[in-house]
Amino acid sequence: MSEFGEIEGPVVRPRRLRTTAAMRELVAATTLRPAQLVLPLFVREGLTEPKPISSMPGVVQHTRDTLRKAVVEAAEAGIRGVMLFGIPEAKDAAGSGALDPDGILNLAIADVAAEVGDAVVVMADTCLDEFTDHGHCGVLTSEGRVDNDATLAAYAAMAVAQAEAGVHLVGPSGMMDGQVGVIRAALDGAGFSDTGILAYGAKYASAFYGPFREAVDSSLQGDRRTYQQDARNGQEGVREAVLDVQQGADIVMVKPALAYLDVLRQVRDAPELRGVPVAAYNISGEYAMVEAAAAQGWIDREPAILETLTAIRRAGADVILTYWAVEAAGLLR
């Protein structure tokens, strides 16, 4: 009997299923496996050694040689996907380097595909922002606005160039209306019907992209609010994802992940998307926050990494793009 007197104990005790580590493993409702993770990687033209990204500790801009090694390391860790971003030496208003077969991103795709074959799903960012001198995701009108339909033609050519280089999944991320349908038609017309589309279905204009802008040496002036989604609109993200699937997307993605877990769950539960794999991008700012807090000793870093990724899985992601992919795979083992 306690000092507070005798009480009748509860019949239902949820704590019974938390008593040991084995018990917790037995009843765990959410699984997190290395094969569900995708590693984003940056490759920069003209580098002779990797260049650290100051706002993303542990992440670098790769050379072509170190990129190949990083992909092999990822494959050996059990990671089954990489997402490639290219940073050219020269940019122009049309982002022409994105379409060049000898451009850095297309060369990197070919390098990686030759290195790992089909052991890893090779994905690439199908967007112009790393290649334009104005930093926007498309070509501009004379008034300085992004021209949706002119940009679609560039995306179609870019997707075909990536397919010719050996990519398995193109990743249109520019949020142009109709981009998936145009890309699907271009790929099929060029004989690449087996090349898939990972569509950035719900991509929001977010404050958490800052470190990524450093990672790709972004030239952006202003913002992307006329084409990326408004943070206040959750159902709009579902609508965009549904439209992408109707146009031929094979996988849809929500980006960012942590600030949009509710959107991720709505996308996962949408009847029109039943059976469609859903991805989420654990983006640079989310990564940087955990790394900065851990560096200050304010949080326990490794459990925070796994808790973050588990939360994204629990919200409905089948696939997670994360800069922690290789490290997380090691922690899971």
The pLDDT value recorded for residue 1 is 56
Whether 203 is catalytic is yes
Our answer to whether residue 69 is catalytic in this structure is: no
Indicate the fold that domain 32-332 takes in CATH. Answer: TIM Barrel (3.20.20)
**pTM, rounded to two decimals:** 0.95
Check 51, 69, 91, 255 and give the catalytic one: 255
Helical H segments across 166-233, by residue range: 179-189, 210-215
* Short-list 330, 279, 328, 278, CA closest to 308: 328
Q: Give the Cα separation of 289 and 115 in Å (integer).
A: 33
CB contact at 8 A, 316 and 241? no
Going from N- to C-terminal start, the domains of the chain cover 32-332
pLDDT at position 220 is 77
Catalytic residue among 51, 69, 91, 203: 203
Whether 265 has a pLDDT exceeding 70, the answer reads yes
Nearest to 180 by CA among 246, 136, 238: 246
> What pLDDT does residue 225 have?
83
- What is the per-residue pLDDT across 108-136, written as a single tens digit (0 to 9) for each? 999 999 999 999 999 999 999 999 999 88
- How much is the average pLDDT of 140-164? 95
Rounded to 10 deg, the angle between the 64-76 and 325-332 helix axes is 20
Single out the residue of 138, 144, 175 nearest to residue 158, CA to CA: 138
Question: From CA 24, how far away is CA 16, in angstroms rounded?
Answer: 10
The residue type of 293 is A
Is the separation of the CB atoms in 128 and 98 below 8 Å? yes
Per-residue tokens: 135: 């930093």
Q: Is 299 helix (H, G, I), strand (E, B) or coil?
A: coil
Mean pLDDT taken over the chain:
95
For tokens 């490759």, what's the residue?
43
User: Out of 2-16, 50-64, 118-132, 257-271, which region has the weakest mean confidence (pLDDT)?
Assistant: 2-16
Contact 214, 51 (CB under 8 A): no
pLDDT at 13 over 60: yes
pLDDT of residue 221 exceeding 80: no
What DSSP line would sit under 52-87, residue for residue? E-TTSTT-EEEPHHHHHHHHHHHHHTT--EEEEEEE
